Amino acid sequence: MHIGSARTALLNYLFARHSGGVFVLRIEDTDVARSDARYETSILDDVEWLGLSWDEGPDRGGPCGPYRQSERLAGYAAAAEELVRTGRAYRCFCSAARLEELRAARLAQGLMPLYDRRCLGLSPQEVERRMAAGEPAAIRLRVPDGEVRVNDLILGPVTFSSDVIGDFIIRRSDGGAAYNFAAALDDRDMGITHVIRGDDHLTNTARQLMLFAALESAPPRYAHHSLILGPDGGKLSKRHGATAVGDFRELGYLPQAITNYLALLSWSHGDEEVMPLARLVAEFDLAGLASSPAVFDQAKLDWLDHQHILALDPGEHERRFAARLPAGTPPQAAKALAAAFQPSLVAYGQAEQVAAPVLERPVLDAGVQPALAPAAPWLRGFGDLRAGAPEWLTAEAARDVLAAYRRLGAEVGVKPRELLMPLRLALTGCEHGPELHYVLAALDRHEALERVAAAVALAATAQSEEGAP
């Protein structure tokens, strides 16, 4: 599910929930070549993961089912035949080859590639004869001359001339319903009052309004939101990075951060930007949606995800962080590291990377010898302190051990930095990282002592080399 489709689903959800309406999830799978059960499953999973619970749909039924268009074919066929009977549609026997030739010829003349209505002039007898002979035929809507006006709830009135639409197919020669026909019929039969979708559907809306007129039915109200553009101004695509809901899910973004960000792409809410889904529902205003294109800003999404991580209950944050760590990570280590990185984490996909310097035993080389050599006595003193403490330390208990270590240094005039930087190097191999008490809480007694002993041994090597003749 593209992030743009997720935004469309979100806006429909917010409008339905804010208005006390019914949110319907319909699977439009009339294009057999592009439809597959796994795509449906993926859509349902993604929408549910985003927290956009639907009232009616293929998995939970409802009064207007079925909710898969592939299960509504008989109704489409009957409606198409009724339009033929009343003269609002007609059968077209033109082959795909002829239609392609017509299209190419019109384009070469600088004209819109519209159907030339050849089959509109066929006599009823000729149509019957060709049908009886088994000749395949599509059904086209007979588009009346004039204009169709879309009274859009976001864009305002938008007018299309029938000259740029032409007689379009509503039922294919293989018996399948075309998208616009199936969508219009379903909107009618399901009592849909509002349709919110991207402005790339504007011409589809014009066709559907023509269909509603032919069906003598009142259409829903339409609102066409802008598309999401990439930073280069082009339509957001994979060349810009993650573009699917599943991509962001895999990268460890929170669903509430995604919905928060997608809502703000179209809807300004002043200086307040961090908003949970319930708040978005309560304050959503369709009239407040901007008509101008929205540019995807990865940095803004990262900031919002960080804010939502900060707002998580510590237990929920710990669960999400631990799930991203390597299998077999001790729960005590996961707990300590989750607390260490909650103030800085952008997305949970970073968890394994940021935790690695603590979880993986460092390989110390000659480059850190100068920093470790003078600290060898203090590191030995730290080892004695850690050896006398429990196997696992809580973050608070680790603070106490470090406080004792500082007192040990203060007694002989060693500054805290001269104590703590070598200790950090010994434990993680890095000069920077999470607060040391979290590092200590993430290592059991044996592991901490092994790392300190390795650092002391490396320091001793440096000292012996300095003393050699």
Q: Which residue has the tokens 């919110």?
A: 196
Pairing of strands 138-141, 89-92: antiparallel
User: Which three-class secondary structure state does DSSP give residue 340?
Assistant: helix
- 334-362 CB burial, b ≥16 within 10 A, e <16: bbbbbbbbbeebbbbebbeebbebbbeeb
User: Which three-class secondary structure state does DSSP give residue 249?
Assistant: helix
Dihedral angle sign, alpha carbons of residues 434, 298, 324, 279 = positive
> Could you say which DSSP state residue 288 is in?
G
User: Which three-class secondary structure state does DSSP give residue 5?
Assistant: helix
Asked if residues 261 and 4 have their Cβ atoms less than 8 Å apart, the reply is no
Residue 94 contacts by C-beta under 8 Å, 6 or more apart in sequence? 102, 115, 118, 119, 138
First to last CA, the chain: 70
How far is residue 186's CA from residue 76's CA, in Å, rounded to a whole number? Answer: 9
Across the strands, what pairs with 27?
A: 68
User: Which three-class secondary structure state does DSSP give residue 52?
Assistant: coil
Residue 298 contacts by C-beta under 8 Å, 6 or more apart in sequence? 241
How far are the Cα atoms of 90, 125, 229, 234 from residue 93, in angstroms, in the given order? 10, 14, 41, 39
Q: What is the set of active-site residues?
A: 238
- DSSP letters spanning 197-239: EEGGGHHHHHHHHHHHHHHT-PPPEEEEEPPEE-TTSSBP-GG
Q: Which residue has the tokens 């369709």?
A: 286
